[in-house]
């Protein structure tokens, strides 16, 4: 165990760029939103000041309207496309124009509980509140209780089959030519395909012409999906923000947050699929559920958004998946014909998602399965190293090597 901890710490130190951590060298040379949130938990196991600094550097990219972008371009690099020139946002430092899963409040609460650094938590609290208000205003303007993503990148699960139907509506003509850098660093069989990338960039081009105005983006996007993962992680983060509001908030903050929580509690049952044993996304343009079984469908466990019967049903479904793979939890049901054990979010196991699912299962008393998922994650790291993700059938490490949030997960999950 000591050897693994030393190796994981070395990964974070090697990927440190002066107060922020790149996910891995060359492949992802900037600061990514939800990566940095989880990486902060890894830093906290051996350098508390550096953990707080990770979040503070990320929030240098926060927009005036509260949005926290998915990438902050602190320094130039030609190793990644699309760079700041394609995004065309006006923020300094340069940033992307879309966001990523809102896990920051959960991480800040954990850092505060672990370190007691009230001054730093107090400084971050209003920025977290502003981001959550942005989610409610920009991505749920009708107040339904469910927020939407307007780009697959916002989900953090870029090429998930959950987006196939909605992404097919996005035209590929007349877009900025793609200049892929990712496939120079790792095999194309592990990455999204070119047509998917063209549609990703088509959405960026559209939003840039709309000057990144949230109302215009909401009105004109051909891609608008109530993502299970985003809503689950936001709900958990709202719960943690509510706890922070008790110590650092202004009068009325707690009532505001509690109202958003209640709206989501009322709305989430509409995404439950009893036959599938998990939650499914909802396409807000097609006005139809998206029939897909992904690992994100289990994240409402992490959010505390299920009842005990649903938790048992979800545990049984995970056990059913385990009959077809060696390691849990694949990012797509192994029985789905689109399952691909090597291609990014279409099959591989991701350590950070495993951690959230396992925590949720434990919260509902499904301790044996939670422990099993933890054990599988440890085994994958031992077999495949601190890889970006893992083949659920062989345990092979895939994607980027010496990956920061995989190392951080190993550190923070091992911590008492």
Q: What residues are labeled active site?
A: 158, 388
The angle subtended at Cα 381 by Cα 376 and Cα 387, nearest 5°, is 125
Other Cβ atoms within 10 Å of 384 Cβ, number:
21
Please provide the DSSP assignment of 30-97 as one string. SEEHHHHHHHHHHHTTT-HHHHHHHHHHHGGG--TTS---SEEE-S--SSSSS-HHHH----SSEE-S
d(CA 108, CA 112): 6
Q: Write phi, then psi, for 411 (nearest 5 degrees).
A: -70, -55
Which residues are bridge partners to 94 per DSSP?
Answer: 73
Element (H, E) at 356: helix 351-363
Q: From 86, 91, 50, 49, select the one nearest 72 (Cα to Cα).
A: 91
Other Cβ atoms within 10 Å of 269 Cβ, number:
13
Edge-first strand listing for the sheet containing 94-95: 31-32, 71-73, 94-95
Helix axes 351-363, 404-414, angle to 10 degrees: 30
Rounded (to 5) percent helix, strand, coil in the chain? 55, 5, 40
d(CA 228, CA 302): 12
d(CA 313, CA 213): 41
296 near 160, Cβ under 8 Å? yes
């Amino acid at each position: 165990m000591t050897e693994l901890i030393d190796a994981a710490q070395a990964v974070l130190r090697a990927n440190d760029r002066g107060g922020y951590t790149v996910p891995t060298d060359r492949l992802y040379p900037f600061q990514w939103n939800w990566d940095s949130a989880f990486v902060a938990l890894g830093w906290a196991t051996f350098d508390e000041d550096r953990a707080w600094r990770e979040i503070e550097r990320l929030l240098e990219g926060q927009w005036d309207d509260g949005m926290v972008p998915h990438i902050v371009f602190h320094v130039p690099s030609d190793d990644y496309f699309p760079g700041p020139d394609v995004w065309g946002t006006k923020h300094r430092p340069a940033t992307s124009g879309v966001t990523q899963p809102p896990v920051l409040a959960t991480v800040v609460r954990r850092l505060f509980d672990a370190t007691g650094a009230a001054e730093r938590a107090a400084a971050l609290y209003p920025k977290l509140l502003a981001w959550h208000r942005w989610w409610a205003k920009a991505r749920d303007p009708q107040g339904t209780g469910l927020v939407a993503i307007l780009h697959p990148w916002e989900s953090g699960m870029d090429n998930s089959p959950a987006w196939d139907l909605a992404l097919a509506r996005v035209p590929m003509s007349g877009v900025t030519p793609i200049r892929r850098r990712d496939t120079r660093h790792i095999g194309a069989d592990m990455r999204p395909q070119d047509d998917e990338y063209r549609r990703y960039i088509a959405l960026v081009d559209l939003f840039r012409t709309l000057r990144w105005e949230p109302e215009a983006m909401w009105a004109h996007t051909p891609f608008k999906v109530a993502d299970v993962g985003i809503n689950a992680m936001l709900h958990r983060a709202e719960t943690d923000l509510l706890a922070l509001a008790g110590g650092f908030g202004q009068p009325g903050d707690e009532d505001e947050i509690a109202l958003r929580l209640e709206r989501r509690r009322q709305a989430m049952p509409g995404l439950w699929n009893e036959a599938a044993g998990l939650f499914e996304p909802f396409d807000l343009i097609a006005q139809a559920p998206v029939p897909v079984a992904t690992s994100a469908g289990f994240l409402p466990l992490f959010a505390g958004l299920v009842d005990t019967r649903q938790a048992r049903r979800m545990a049984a479904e995970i056990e059913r998946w385990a009959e077809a793979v060696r390691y849990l939890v694949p990012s797509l049901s192994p029985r789905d014909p689109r399952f691909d054990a090597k291609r990014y979010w279409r099959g591989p196991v991701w350590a950070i998602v495993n951690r959230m699912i396992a925590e949720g299962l434990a919260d509902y008393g499904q301790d044996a399965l939670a422990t099993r998922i933890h054990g599988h994650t440890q085994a994958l790291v031992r077999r495949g190293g601190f890889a970006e993700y893992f083949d659920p059938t062989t345990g092979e490490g895939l994607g980027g090597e010496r990956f920061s949030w995989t190392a951080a997960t190993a550190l923070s999950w091992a911590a008492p």
